[in-house]
Amino acid sequence: MGSNMIYMPIVLALLGLVYMLIKKSWVMKQDAGDGKMKEISDHIYEGALAFLNAEYKLLAIFVVIVSILLFIVSLIVDTTHWLIVIAFIFGAIFSAFAGNIGMKIATKTNVRTTQAARTSLPNALKISFGGGTVMGLGVAGLAVLGLTAFFIIFYNVFMGGEWTSTDKMTVVLETLAGFSLGAESIALFARVGGGIYTKAADVGADLVGKVEAGIPEDDPRNPATIADNVGDNVGDVAGMGADLFGSYVATVLAAMVLGNYVIKDMGGAITDVFGGIGPILLPMSIAGVGIIISVIGTMLVKIKSNDAKEAQVMGALNIGNWTSIILVAASCFVLCKWMLPETMKMEFFGEGLIEISSMRVFYATLVGLAVGALISSVTEYYTGLGKSPILKIVQQSSTGAGTNIIAGLATGMISTFPSVLLFAGAIWASYAFAGFYGVALAASAMMATTAMQLAIDAFGPISDNAGGIAEMSEQEPIVRERTDILDSVGNTTAATGKGFAIASAALTSLALFAAYVTFTGIDGINIFKAPVLAMLFVGGMVPVVFSALAMNAVGKAAMEMVQEVRRQFKEIPGIMEGTGKPEYDKCVAISTKASLKEMMLPGLLTIGFPLVIAFVPMIFGMDTKAIAEMLGGYMAGVTVSGVLWAIFQNNAGGAWDNAKKSFEAGVEINGEMTYKGSDAHKAAVTGDTVGDPFKDTSGPSMNILIKLTCLIGLVIAPILGGNHSETIVAANNTSKVIEYTDDSSKNKVEVSMNVENDLAIATVTTQTLENGKIKRKTQELRGSESEVKAEIEAIKILIK
């Protein structure tokens, strides 16, 4: 079956999608409730569609522009093929389609959850989590399907479906990067635009509704309330989905790129039952198997008692989650053992070729799984109800909003300590086990349970919506109580989900960064060169400015919303008495328009900066390798700073949110029980206002920023590394012939080397310019492989 393994991920993805369709039709068959409930649900559904349609229009323009640019690039650069444009378009379409499935099912599941909650909590969980499952499998299934399908197509187009050389495979993967770029572009719109949408609606609705008019949250008299509920879906469902879709694809792609270089390091070819591309197929296979494991995991999520509390619901989710993580670990063991050569050679920068056993790759995947699990625990500690950081913020609320804010900021900042140590440890360990291929596979293993993670994540906003519908349709209090249990668990999973998302984005970016450096063929990124150091600074600054722009965008959009709600309260007769009907659609339109408009500037910043760094110095005739190194410095700066700001903002926001929520059950401050409505609670509400854009807009946007930055780098890598080419003409496990040309200087070295058993024979031709004349010299070198390689290096230096 070995050589058919290339089709295995597709089959698994299709199986996942079939299960998704079954689950979907099951959810849709559930009772959607009575008139009022259905009416509200329909409003939310239509609002969500309105956003999607507006987004698609903008996206279409964007996709056309980028496609044209990519096509021009493919005309200019030899190693970039025009098929990258097709891959890009399909990447965008697949990601958008996955988002569409998610949004639709989420907005259909919410009302069914409300209806189920009228009689049974276990059923309500089953339905809301079922909706989440559809979402999760849609994203993961389409991601694996698309990526694998395009890989097979390009593998056949460029290599005739058979291994020839690393260089040819590089063209395949470089073209495939277009798919990833397309997916991540959608994520930019969905995550950043969605983040602005959801908070603009939320803040706008609260400011006029709760504060000015004194009506409760989710009150149907508030014209912005539908926009608020749509926002939950736009931001938390579609945004998160697109984010993870992008991470998923990018991680697998980066691992494939690095797998290709593993084959190169092993002499340009390996013999295995997978057509000699086992290390390239492995990440796709892990992703495929992960889909099936996620299906199993989701099946385990259920509760029995109608009187269950948060702990039981959380326990059910944990069982599903941990089972899938353990199953992924087990299958990583099998897949690594089966698909990789027992020992591989990998080039470690500055240390030369090192022998790596396939088990060490497996250990690297364990590192990834551990990070995914641990980062969630860290996040839960800093943002969880009843934990010491939250209790401290609650205490500090008693002296006013100022001290509450300081405590929240400090909590977010301190939370970077364990998180970053964890990342640093993961980078170090997975690299020590199996080089950057190990880092990429750590990320792949972590991402294997994406479908499960998304199911856990998406059920939160569905339950939140269900609660909103219960409120708006004036159900019995017990209904809201039941949805509140789900919602409360959803808040925790939302926070830990954000931890997972940033961890995945961080590891993905590192893998992309490694792929970039290898692609360009530079000697690493040396920050002791001042221009590289300068770009490290600039890169570090971009996430900070991006966050500020995103926060300001929320402020601006919310203000527009406030004006509109005020206008409706004034102009629509009987609106406060419930006899006049609010114009929900106008508020939806404002949020939609404002969010898409306001995401332009941060989007431009994200895409523009790397392009400026790459092309402006090129116009001034700077050496492309020097530029490649500068761009690498920029990428590192964005990644390091972006990860920090993501953790800081997500956790500060989560902490403020739960500090505020603590007052609902009552908290003890200086020996006195304090509740909602107290001054301390008001201070906590202020903190939550600050935290909202932190945790739902600017914080999560960092993921997209760092991934997209590194992806853009990877896509333009061939332009920057264009003057470096190395071709392995023919090879098998014991003998290889390499030819390469290095024309980065005016002088030239051409080498062809043949290694048979332990003897290496190299023919070296040097071409030098002396006194205006070209001089060519050919010599033969014999000896051990390392001796001959060292001599070649020496010759290269001599003639430079």
Distances (CA, A) of 439 to 60, 245, 286, 521, 704: 35, 19, 15, 19, 19
| 790 makes contact with its own copies (CB under 8 A) | yes
Nearer to its own copies, 103 or 659 (CB): 659
Q: How far apart are CA 130 and CA 106, in angstroms?
A: 10
Q: How far apart are CA 220 and CA 209, in angstroms?
A: 10
Q: According to CB under 8 A, which residues from 438 to 467 bind its own copies?
A: 439
What does 312-372 look like in DSSP terms, one character per residue?
HHHHHHHHHHHHHHHHHHHHHHHHHHHHS-SEEEEEETTTEEEEEEHHHHHHHHHHHHHHH
Q: How far is the CB of 793 from its own copies (least distance, A)?
A: 5
Q: According to CB under 8 A, which residues from 597 to 626 bind its own copies?
A: 626
User: Taken in order 399, 402, 406, 407, is the CA torsion positive or negative?
Assistant: positive
Angle at 103 between CA 102 and CA 106, to 5 degrees: 80
Q: How far is the CB of 547 from its own copies (least distance, A)?
A: 6
Q: Which of 322, 428, 615, 675 is the binder for its own copies (CB under 8 A)?
A: 428
* DSSP code for 734: S
675 Rama class: left (phi>0) / alpha (psi -120 to 50) / beta:
beta
| 528 makes contact with its own copies (CB under 8 A) | yes
Nearer to its own copies, 415 or 449 (CB): 415
Q: According to CB under 8 A, which residues from 547 to 566 bind its own copies?
A: 547-549, 551-552, 554-555, 562
| 531 makes contact with its own copies (CB under 8 A) | yes
Site string for its own copies, 149-188 (x = CB under 8 A): ----------------------------------------
Radius of gyration of the chain (CA): 27
- Please say whether the beta carbons of 174 and 43 come within 8 A: no
- Please say whether the beta carbons of 483 and 117 come within 8 A: yes
Q: Which of 25, 53, 343, 526 is the binder for its own copies (CB under 8 A)?
A: 526
Nearer to its own copies, 413 or 729 (CB): 413
Q: How far apart are CA 409 and CA 382, in angstroms?
A: 12
Q: According to CB under 8 A, which residues from 118 to 137 bind its own copies?
A: none
Q: How far apart are CA 416 and CA 184, in angstroms?
A: 25
Q: Which of 14, 413, 737, 761 is the binder for its own copies (CB under 8 A)?
A: 413
| 632 makes contact with its own copies (CB under 8 A) | yes
Nearer to its own copies, 315 or 425 (CB): 425
- Please say whether the beta carbons of 89 and 628 come within 8 A: no
Piece of 150-158, 303-311, 422-430, 480-488 that binds its own copies (CB under 8 A): 422-430
Q: How far is the CB of 93 from its own copies (least distance, A)?
A: 35
- Please say whether the beta carbons of 109 and 130 come within 8 A: yes
Q: How far is the CB of 655 from its own copies (least distance, A)?
A: 12
| 517 makes contact with its own copies (CB under 8 A) | yes
H/E segment holding residue 784: none
Angle at 395 between CA 394 and CA 399, to 5 degrees: 105
Nearer to its own copies, 284 or 628 (CB): 628
Q: Which of 590, 594, 644, 702 is the binder for its own copies (CB under 8 A)?
A: 644
Piece of 35-43, 416-424, 732-740, 773-781 that binds its own copies (CB under 8 A): 416-424
Piece of 167-175, 427-435, 461-469, 581-589 that binds its own copies (CB under 8 A): 427-435
Q: Which of 30, 641, 662, 766 is the binder for its own copies (CB under 8 A)?
A: 641
Q: How far is the CB of 22 from its own copies (least distance, A)?
A: 43
Please give the order of strands across the beta sheet that includes 736-742.
Answer: 724-731, 736-742, 748-756, 759-770, 773-783
Nearer to its own copies, 735 or 767 (CB): 767
Piece of 65-73, 149-157, 540-548, 739-747 that binds its own copies (CB under 8 A): 540-548
Q: Which of 3, 164, 357, 403 is the binder for its own copies (CB under 8 A)?
A: 403
| 640 makes contact with its own copies (CB under 8 A) | yes
Q: According to CB under 8 A, which residues from 340 to 399 bind its own copies?
A: 349-350, 396, 399
Angle at 96 between CA 648 and CA 282, to 5 degrees: 75
Nearer to its own copies, 513 or 584 (CB): 513
Q: What is the separation of C-alpha 388 from the centre of its chain, rounded to a whole number of angstroms?
A: 30
- Please say whether the beta carbons of 188 and 58 come within 8 A: no
Residue 639: which of 550, 717, 712 has the closest Cα?
A: 712
Q: How far apart are CA 333 and CA 329, in angstroms?
A: 6
- Please say whether the beta carbons of 666 and 675 come within 8 A: yes
Q: How far is the CB of 501 from its own copies (least distance, A)?
A: 18
| 643 makes contact with its own copies (CB under 8 A) | yes
Residue 100: which of 229, 245, 198 has the closest Cα?
A: 245
Q: How far apart are CA 168 and CA 173, in angstroms?
A: 9
Q: How far is the CB of 38 from its own copies (least distance, A)?
A: 35
| 767 makes contact with its own copies (CB under 8 A) | no
DSSP bridge partners of 749: 742, 766
Q: How far apart are CA 541 and CA 534, in angstroms?
A: 11
| 524 makes contact with its own copies (CB under 8 A) | yes
| 427 makes contact with its own copies (CB under 8 A) | yes
| 424 makes contact with its own copies (CB under 8 A) | yes
Q: According to CB under 8 A, which residues from 683 to 722 bind its own copies?
A: 685-690, 693
Nearer to its own copies, 91 or 693 (CB): 693
| 529 makes contact with its own copies (CB under 8 A) | yes
| 402 makes contact with its own copies (CB under 8 A) | yes
Q: How far apart are CA 451 and CA 138, in angstroms?
A: 8
Q: Which of 322, 417, 615, 675 is the binder for its own copies (CB under 8 A)?
A: 417
What count of other Cβ atoms lies within 10 Å of the Cβ of residue 566? 15
- Please say whether the beta carbons of 216 and 282 come within 8 A: no
| 678 makes contact with its own copies (CB under 8 A) | no
Distances (CA, A) of 633 to 185, 303, 622: 22, 50, 16
Nearer to its own copies, 18 or 211 (CB): 211
Q: According to CB under 8 A, which residues from 9 to 28 bind its own copies?
A: none
